[in-house]
Amino acid sequence: MFLRKAKKLLSKISYRLAFAYIVFFIPCYMLTFGLFYYFSSHYLERRDRDVIEARLQQIEQLIGNKEIAGLKAALSEEKFHNQINKLLIYISDSKQNTQFLHLPEDSMRFELPVVEEFLKKRNLNFDENWFNIASKEGDDDALEVKAVRISGDGILMVGASTDERDEILERFQEIFLTIFFPLVLFSSLGSVLISQKILLPLAKLSKSISEVKSGHLGSRVELPLRQDELYDLSQTYNEMADQTEKLVMAIKQTVDNIAHDLKTPMTRIRIASAMALQKNTHAELKEAVEETIESTESILAMIQAILEMAKYNTKTVALDKSWFAASVLIAEVVDLYFFVADDKNINIEVECELDQVFADRIRLKQILANLLDNAIKYSPGQSSINILALEEEHFFVFKIKDRGVGISIQDRSRIWERLFRADKSRSEPGLGLGLSLVKVYAEAHGGLALVQSELGQGSEFLIKIPKA
Ligand code: ADP
């Protein structure tokens, strides 16, 4: 049960970060305290020993000058008394008889028997110098002493209680323990809260992804205030969501358009078929079949365009280049659209200053056909369209200019996208695939497809095919 709960908590990044922080923090805290404790105790020990050593040298000098008899009087002097009142001073003769003993006034636990007992038990090694004498109660408190041999094989011992030092170190330990648990608790809580705050954009991102998944394509994340990696991630996500939404809307629109565009020829086929059943003469039947074939062809052309677009991008178009006469190609394209243009009373003027062109004939014909188809579609009746073919230093150039509806600035960069159709073009049949195909074919030649247009005035499409 507990394990499952812990597992669930650790599955959240914020708790995992907090856990990692604690696992890292506790040893660091203990190490820092350990080092601090070690250096402090070392420093305090050094300080105490310096005092003891200074007094030892002083007393050794006194003994040298005045002998032991004079020492007592000297030690009782007020000035000296203040310096030694916290020290143990012990002097014995060569037979280990006590000659002089001064016990530390701040520690009542050390008396002569304790010192004598210590000396008896211990075979003093004078190379070692420093000893600890436990108090008579046998507790941890000790006198730290230094012993040296003095003239006549006697012993001089000076020491001080380690009580003060031990108390300071004990205080350190208490402080460490008092701080430790609240510190771990507060820092863990703090790290959970901070990581939750830092990871908030991720939580928002996850919420927005769920919303998009459940069909709310308009869901976006609020950008974090700080411009960090999560800001970049949120921004990229919003851009991606924008594109996805646009694409889905375009696909929806295309499906609508396809349905709408298919409806007309399908209805015509149905009516023509129904009429054919009722008509008897050969001529009437022929007319119905012709109507059906015409409608089927427009459906096939639509399906063909969709298949082409799905198949091609600039890199996968395999070109079949050859030399051919530009004027013949343009005439073929104009012928194709003669009746459609004538229907709207549109006049097509051709000016061909180009002789031979080196390109993929079929693709170039598709390019010009698409552009002329659009020019007619988006031009009013009684207008004119100009087709111009000319030669530049490095390019074969084709221009198709109409006096039609024109393209707004916002739409100009988008007309080359697959499935894009400007709002005002909806009344005309189309799938928004023609210009993307034009661009793919022009670029497959290493060339360019450009447009200049003014809303309400007309458009001029420019195709540049490199000569090399
Ligand atoms: P569509 O099947 O809609 O014509 P295209 O890819 O050929 O698809 O063109 C994309 C859009 O560009 C059209 O829907 C139309 O809004 C705009 N467009 C293309 N050619 C012209 C033109 N000659 N005049 C005005 N608008 C044009």
Ligand 1 pocket member 366 (CB < 6 A): no
Mean predicted confidence (pLDDT) in 333-349: 92
CA-CA distance, 162 to 48, in Å (whole number)?
8
Which atom of ligand 1 has the smallest separation from the CA of 423? 16
219 burial via Cβ count (<10 Å: 0-12, 13-18, 19+):
middle
Lowest mean pLDDT among 121-125, 173-177, 220-224, 330-334: 121-125
How confident is the model at residue 372, as a pLDDT?
96
Is the pLDDT higher at 214 or at 461?
A: 461
Ligand 1: centre distance to CA 129 (Å): 104
Which atom of ligand 1 has the smallest separation from the CA of 421? 14
Q: Where are the beta strands (DSSP E) in 237-343?
A: 321-325
CA-CA distance, 99 to 229, in Å (whole number)?
81
Which atom of ligand 1 has the smallest separation from the CA of 425? 16
Ligand 1 pocket member 430 (CB < 6 A): yes
Lowest mean pLDDT among 114-123, 210-219, 220-229, 322-331: 114-123
CA-CA distance, 196 to 188, in Å (whole number)?
12
Mean predicted confidence (pLDDT) in 98-104: 78
DSSP for 413-465? TTTTSTT---GGGTTS---S-HHHHHHHHHHHTT-EEEEEEETTTEEEEEEEE
Token representation of residue 226: 């700080």
Residue from 307, 293, 459, 434 nearest 375 by CA: 459
Is the pLDDT higher at 355 or at 255?
A: 355
Residue from 167, 174, 189, 186 nearest 33 by CA: 174
CA-CA distance, 30 to 25, in Å (whole number)?
9
Token representation of residue 153: 């094989």
Q: pLDDT tens-digit profile of 233-242?
A: 999 999 999 9
Q: How confident is the model at residue 120 (pLDDT cuts 50, 70, 90)?
A: low
Instruction: Tell me phi and psi for residue 391, to 5 degrees.
Output: -115, 130
Q: How confident is the model at residue 189 (pLDDT cuts 50, 70, 90)?
A: confident
Specify the DSSP element, H or E, that contains 387.
Answer: strand 384-391
Ligand 1: centre distance to CA 405 (Å): 10
Mutate to test the pocket of ligand 1, among 348, 367, 374 (most ligand atoms within 8 A of CB): 374
Token representation of residue 221: 């994340």
Ligand 1 pocket member 433 (CB < 6 A): yes
How confident is the model at residue 453, as a pLDDT?
95
| pLDDT beyond 80 at 139 | no
| pLDDT beyond 70 at 218 | yes
Q: How confident is the model at residue 329 (pLDDT cuts 50, 70, 90)?
A: very high
Q: Are 166 and 139 in contact (CB under 8 A)?
A: no
How confident is the model at residue 106, as a pLDDT?
64
Question: DSSP letter at 219?
Answer: -
Lowest mean pLDDT among 340-354, 378-392, 411-425: 411-425
Token representation of residue 360: 């993929």
**SS3 state at 317:** coil
Please tell me the residue having the least CA distance from ligand 1 atom 12: 415
Q: pLDDT tens-digit profile of 268-292?
A: 889 888 888 887 788 888 888 888 8
Q: How confident is the model at residue 137 (pLDDT cuts 50, 70, 90)?
A: low
DSSP for 240-269? HHHHHHHHHHHHHHHHHHHHHHHHHHHHHH
Q: Are 109 and 180 in contact (CB under 8 A)?
A: no
| pLDDT beyond 90 at 31 | yes
Mean predicted confidence (pLDDT) in 418-422: 78
Mutate to test the pocket of ligand 1, among 421, 438, 450 (most ligand atoms within 8 A of CB): 421
Lowest mean pLDDT among 114-123, 239-248, 261-270, 459-468: 114-123
Ligand 1 pocket member 261 (CB < 6 A): no
Ligand 1 pocket member 143 (CB < 6 A): no
CA-CA distance, 152 to 155, in Å (whole number)?
9
CA-CA distance, 277 to 221, in Å (whole number)?
61
Q: How confident is the model at residue 19 (pLDDT cuts 50, 70, 90)?
A: confident
CA-CA distance, 249 to 211, in Å (whole number)?
17
Mean predicted confidence (pLDDT) in 124-129: 60
Ligand 1 pocket member 407 (CB < 6 A): yes
How confident is the model at residue 283, as a pLDDT?
83
Ligand 1 pocket member 425 (CB < 6 A): yes
Lowest mean pLDDT among 68-77, 175-184, 323-332, 388-397: 68-77
Q: pLDDT tens-digit profile of 400-411?
A: 999 999 999 989
| pLDDT beyond 80 at 128 | no
How confident is the model at residue 126, as a pLDDT?
57
Structural domains in the chain, CATH included, are: 2-167 (3.30.450), 229-312 (1.10.287.130), 318-466 (3.30.565.10)
How confident is the model at residue 419, as a pLDDT?
72
Mean predicted confidence (pLDDT) in 443-453: 94
Q: How confident is the model at residue 117 (pLDDT cuts 50, 70, 90)?
A: low
In sequence order, what are the residues at sequence separation of 6 or more whose Cβ sits closer than 8 angstroms to the Cβ of residue 22?
184, 187, 188, 191
Mean predicted confidence (pLDDT) in 108-119: 63
DSSP for 388-414? EEEE-SSEEEEEEE--SS---HHHHTT
Ligand 1: centre distance to CA 364 (Å): 18
How confident is the model at residue 400, as a pLDDT?
98
Mean pLDDT is highest, among 70-79, 101-110, 387-396, for 387-396
